[in-house]
């Protein structure tokens, strides 16, 4: 475990800044700016969210949950502390409703509060500072709990796989798309761990083969950030930027099985039209299955979620639909997750 040379000093230092509040960390990351304080409700902060907060150069993180609970090992909290970003956990959730974005707040040790109109610091409560020592203790607890967590994860996956097998045994109801995939390579980009490095590693492949590019929610922004235009964007549309939605890509909203599609409202507000696919599973599952059903020659998955910690970080206690989809696609799927390590 690392020891941060600046951490002890930060514990005593008064940190002050404008707060940005959102129960969805990935949504908050699209709105927060350098020097602001993030106020989130995120149990076991995942790696991608942590990197997003670091890239935005947030001053500190207030969390109404536990950034690391010790249930399973997630690297996100360690990334934040290594970057010198203080974390105050178990902050009273009521302040998420009381404060508004832009409210000046402060943190000193484990105490926090706001700055009134006269410039006075008003103390409102106490949280629990995630120190290096506590991080080390919780990570050890998480590793000790790994076998139990894995057993529960497997049981949950197999239980739901039995219930959801029709998801892959029956054809997916795909609307007619203008994006043609038959006989072509398809790259499905998800904003998962190391997606930036993996996307950079396969740039020459993309240049040579000119595959169909599918962005799953924020994966569309990852493509645009690399000067690549997505042909198709699929997801619930909660973490993709307006820039990506207006890029000219064909849009597919992944709806709940009952047809409810919260993301459709956003698109209508932007004056955009979209197809609708109501089904179970994750959006990346649907993207890969959609490419398979449309007879893609090869499907390259990049940044996708593929193991226990990946799914637990997303708040999913199993990976039934993902397991089933990968079983169906078989050798037509190439998983490029971690491919960047081959070129180091």
Q: What does the DSSP 8-state code read for residue 176?
A: P
- How far apart are the C-alpha atoms of 196 and 209, rounded to whole Å? 20
pLDDT tens readout for residues 118-142: 999 999 999 999 999 999 999 999 9
The pTM assigned to this predicted structure is 0.78
What is the pLDDT, as a whole number, of residue 41? 97
pLDDT tens readout for residues 255-285: 988 888 988 989 999 999 999 999 998 999 9
Checking if the pLDDT of 332 tops 90, the result is: yes
Provide the β-strand partners of residue 114. Answer: 105, 122
pLDDT tens readout for residues 17-75: 999 999 999 889 989 999 999 999 999 999 989 999 999 999 999 999 999 999 989 99
What is the pLDDT, as a whole number, of residue 12? 60
- How far apart are the C-alpha atoms of 253 and 230, rounded to whole Å? 15
Encoded tokens for 2: 């690392």
Q: Can you tell me whether residue 222 is helix, strand or coil?
A: helix
pLDDT tens readout for residues 64-122: 999 999 998 999 999 999 999 999 999 999 999 999 999 999 999 999 999 999 999 99
Checking if the pLDDT of 180 tops 60, the result is: yes
Q: How confident is the prediction for the chain on average, in pLDDT? A: 91
Provide the β-strand partners of residue 63. Answer: 40
């Amino acid at each position: 475990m690392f020891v941060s040379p600046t951490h002890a000093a930060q514990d005593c230092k008064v940190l002050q800044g404008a707060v940005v509040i959102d129960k969805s960390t990935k949504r908050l990351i699209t709105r927060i700016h350098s020097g602001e304080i993030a106020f989130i409700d995120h149990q076991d902060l995942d790696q991608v969210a942590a990197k997003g907060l670091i890239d935005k150069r947030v001053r500190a993180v207030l969390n109404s949950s536990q950034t690391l609970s010790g249930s399973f090992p997630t690297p996100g909290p360690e990334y934040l502390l290594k970057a010198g970003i203080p974390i105050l956990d178990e902050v009273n959730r009521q302040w998420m409703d009381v404060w508004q974005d832009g409210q000046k707040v402060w943190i000193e040790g484990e105490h926090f509060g706001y700055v009134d109109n006269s410039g006075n610091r008003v103390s409102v409560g106490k949280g629990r500072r995630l120190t290096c020592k506590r991080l080390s203790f919780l990570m050890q607890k998480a590793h000790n709990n790994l076998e139990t967590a894995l057993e529960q994860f497997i049981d949950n996956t197999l239980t739901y796989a039995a219930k959801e097998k029709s998801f892959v045994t029956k054809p997916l109801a795909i609307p007619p798309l203008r994006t043609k995939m038959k006989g072509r390579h398809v790259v499905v980009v998800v904003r998962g761990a190391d997606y930036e490095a993996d996307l950079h590693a396969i740039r020459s492949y993309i240049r040579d083969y000119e595959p169909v590019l599918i962005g799953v929610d924020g994966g569309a922004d990852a493509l645009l950030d690399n000067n690549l235009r997505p042909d198709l964007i699929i997801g619930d549309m909660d973490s993709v930027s307006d820039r990506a939605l207006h890029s000219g890509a064909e849009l597919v909203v992944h709806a709940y099985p009952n047809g409810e599609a919260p993301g459709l409202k956003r698109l209508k507000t932007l004056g955009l039209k979209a197809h609708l696919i109501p089904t179970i599973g994750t959006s990346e599952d649907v993207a890969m299955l959609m490419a398979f059903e449309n007879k893609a020659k090869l499907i390259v998955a990049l940044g996708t979620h593929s193991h226990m910690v990946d799914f637990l970080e997303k708040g999913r206690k199993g990976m039934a639909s993902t397991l089933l989809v990968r079983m169906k696609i078989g050798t037509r799927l190439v998983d490029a997750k971690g491919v960047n390590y081959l070129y180091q």
